[in-house]
Amino acid sequence: MKQDDPLVVFTPSGRRGRVPSGTSVLDAARRLGVDLDSVCGGRGICSKCQISLGTGSFPKHGITVTKEALSAKNAVEQRYDEKRGLPPARRLGCQARILADAVIDVPPESQIHRQVVRKDAELRAIEMDPATRLCLVDVAEPDLQAPSGDLERLNSALAAQWQIGPARCPLPVLARLQATLRRGDWQVTVALHRAPDGLEILDIWPGFFEGPLYGLAIDIGSTTIAGHLTDLSTGTVIASSGRMNPQIRFGEDLMSRVSHAMLTPGGAAEMTAALHAGLDRLAAEIATEAGVAPRQIVETVLVGNPVMHHLALGLDPVELGQAPFALASSGALWLAAGDLGIGAINPEARAYLLPLIAGHVGADAAAVALSEAPEEADELTLIVDVGTNAEILLGDRSGVLACSSPTGPAFEGAQISAGQRAAPGAIERVRIDPATKEPRFKVIGCELWSDDPDFAEAVGPAGVTGICGSGIIEAVAEMRLAGLVDMSGLIGSAAQTGSERCRPEGRTQSYLLHDGSSAGGPVIAVTQTDIRAIQLAKAALYAGARLLMDRRGVDRVERVVLAGAFGAHISPLHAMVLGMIPDVPLDRVRSAGNAAGTGARIALCSVAARRKIEEVVRRIEKVETATEPRFQEHFVAANALPHASDPFPELARQRHLPEVVFNADGGGNRRRRRPR
């Protein structure tokens, strides 16, 4: 490098340096450590290396740039422009040569490690760093004088043209190698996968194969499995799909699945086979829906709770059913997707499973941690992933704690008298007028509230079918706000509450939400048993959070994040009226949507993110609720609505909770003020 060599400044990175006149922009970028993409290795075929030249005076950089700073388009670039078209002012970085001082802009789509903005998170982006990428190579033809194998010459080409390798070649790919090389006239595109133990060739195409490659992020829940098909070069989700977890026929909740494994010979294998079939169908469906060739799906990332994780791997989950809840392995796993029964994608596709945090806190919680990054939070943040089991994280920059709490399936509408899954016809929103005690509600699939004159017509012939998890939470919270339920969770009688909707049911009361019987529909009421089920679930959730707060030595948290598909539908106010979550200002409660799915997608797009979460999980402190003596104490106190002893001042600022007390048999008109 000489002092009179052209000075080149790359934006937005700001990297600068002098390069000999005539150096290609791609070579200059590589020398200066600038992130500029290439699949064809500078042959003017892939157009991944597009850049644009900034002209004029750049006082900040101390240079003036003319349009002669780059060489004119050569024949290769002109041919590309004629055939495929280059956007105005764009040049191919591998063909354009630097002749004088230049400011060169690398647009986001030409950066390998581009930042992908996440719509679902506050100010965080995914930095693309996928484990699998395409490389075009020219392989030397065989030579009688210097005999060597085609794979060896392919590896020499990778070393010479890409400075990488050698790469392993699985037998099925090796079986196609010779024909592919000859068909491509000794030019091939390989899909190279960066595993911790070296490079692997996942697939090979003759000539230049443009891609893109795809990955499938899969969140295995106990109830549903969801997949997000993601473009591995841009991070864009191109299709999402979900289906019921076929294991549901072996039991609704996790413990019943573990029992099935314990009590039925071959039970675990049966559940593994069902899950594998479900995963395979999901992959096939999503590829068809997106119109993507299965061969182009080369990676999967799976997350799930420990029981789902073990069953997906064909590991018997019995140890997870009893203390000390030993995991077969807690570390991250790099496997073949075929090992998980996923055959509907590229046969050599790889699978990555995030690490597990503890015997009850799974890879789904690790994915939530990857998505929400509590270890980077300035404020003490409580993250709750509500499902059949609540997985809870509490932390900030000084450390993160984790536990899981057995909430059971009540929050998902199970064990509720009129409960159902979140599906069209299910009541999902409830409001009760505190004066008249009359309810109104919304059902999934209909925009109108039930008191709208057009509601019956809009809801259609299927009508109102039941109540889902978010609906029952709102119903119980609204009943508490309207003075229909007291702090202990008892429903008052008609005489006590002044509402004819409160009806005796045995020795207890129920509250009528909707009577569809005249049209042959269901009668939907909130019963005392329903409220007890919600109390047990929410007390388990709160007690888990409280246990982590104890360990941290605090009585308050600064922020609450509700994760999980269900978390997206819980109203923060109603969650707090029930005392599901600790008291914080309502604007400090945020829904993170499907954070586990997002975490899986981040791991799919970035090897660096995989390394990061493996490191974060190693540092997370696990708290075991099942053996923690104070759990029971917290659980009992958290049965009250919102809580027997913890104050809820922020909630009190928002809403007044009527201080009613109803006696156990629901009779008489003994409404009185709660003793202070």
Separation CA 512–CA 439 (nearest Å): 9
**Least distance in Å: CB of 76 to ligand FES?**
8
Nearest residue (CB) to ligand FES, 192 versus 218: 192
Q: C-beta of 567: minimal distance to ligand FES in Å?
A: 44
Residue 47 vs 223, nearer CB to ligand FES? 47
d(CA 588, CA 578): 17
**Is-contact 545 489, C-beta < 8 A?**
no
Between 26 and 301, CB nearer to ligand FES: 26
- Alpha carbons 577 and 37: distance in angstroms, whole number: 52
Q: Cβ(480)–Cβ(577) under 8 Å?
A: yes
Of the two residues 89 and 523, which places its CB atom closer to ligand FES in the complex? 89
Give least dist CB 5 to ligand FES, A: 23
Shortest distance in whole angstroms from residue 25 CB to ligand FES: 9
Residue number with CB closer to ligand FES (37 or 428): 37
Q: How far is the CB of 97 from ligand FES (least distance, A)?
A: 13
- The residue type of 124 is R
Coil, strand or helix: which one is 276? helix
What residue type is assigned to position 511 of the chain?
A: Y
Closest distance of CB 92 from ligand FES, Å:
5
- The nearest distance, CB 136 to ligand FES, in angstroms, is 8
Smallest gap from residue 125 Cβ to ligand FES (A): 25
Q: Label the pairing between strands 350-353 and 297-304.
A: parallel
Dihedral angle over CA of 260, 263, 267, 268, nearest 10: 80
Nearer to ligand FES, 162 or 334 (CB): 162
**Minimum distance of ligand FES from residue 202's CB (angstroms):** 21
292 and 214 in contact (C-beta within 8 Å)? yes
Nearest to 195 by CA among 615, 607, 609: 607
The secondary element (H helix, E strand) that includes residue 651 is helix 649-654
* Cβ distance to ligand FES smaller for residue 82 or 587: 82
Interface residues with ligand FES (CB under 6 A) are 26, 38-40, 42-49, 92-94
Largest CA distance in the chain: 105
Going edge to edge, which strands form the sheet with 523-527?
A: 502-505, 508-515, 523-527
CB of 551 to ligand FES, least distance (A): 53
Do the beta carbons of residue 356 and residue 386 sit within 8 Å?
no
Decide: helix, strand or coil at residue 332: coil
**Burial degree of 391 (CB within 10 A; 0-12, 13-18, 19+):** buried
Which residue number, 19 or 271, has a Cβ lying nearer to ligand FES?
A: 19
Distance of closest approach, residue 50 Cβ to ligand FES, in angstroms: 8
Identity of the residue, 80 or 325, whose beta carbon is nearer to ligand FES in the bound complex: 80
Q: How far is the CB of 33 from ligand FES (least distance, A)?
A: 17
Residue count of the chain, please give it.
676
Interior CA angle at 61 toward 56 and 63, to 5°?
A: 45
Of the candidates 470, 668, 665, 456, which has an alpha carbon nearest to the alpha carbon of residue 569?
470
Nearer to ligand FES, 46 or 543 (CB): 46
- Which position has the token pair 């899950």? 275
CB 237 within 8 A of CB 119: no
Which strand ranges, in their side-by-side order, compose the sheet holding 237-244?
Answer: 237-244, 224-231, 214-220, 297-304, 350-353, 333-336
Cβ closer to ligand FES: 47 or 591?
47
CA–CA dist 345, 476 (Å, integer): 45
CB of 205 to ligand FES, least distance (A): 15
Contact 345, 338 (CB under 8 A): no
Cα–Cα distance for residue pair 134/155, rounded to 1 Å: 14
Helix (H), strand (E) at residue 555:
none
Under 8 Å between Cβ of 367 and 603 = yes
| Cβ neighbours of residue 324 closer than 8 Å, sequence gap 6 or more | 359
Measured from the CB atom, is 42 or 221 closer to ligand FES? 42
- Residue closer to ligand FES by CB (options 134, 286) is 134
In the bound state, the residue with its beta carbon closest to ligand FES is 94
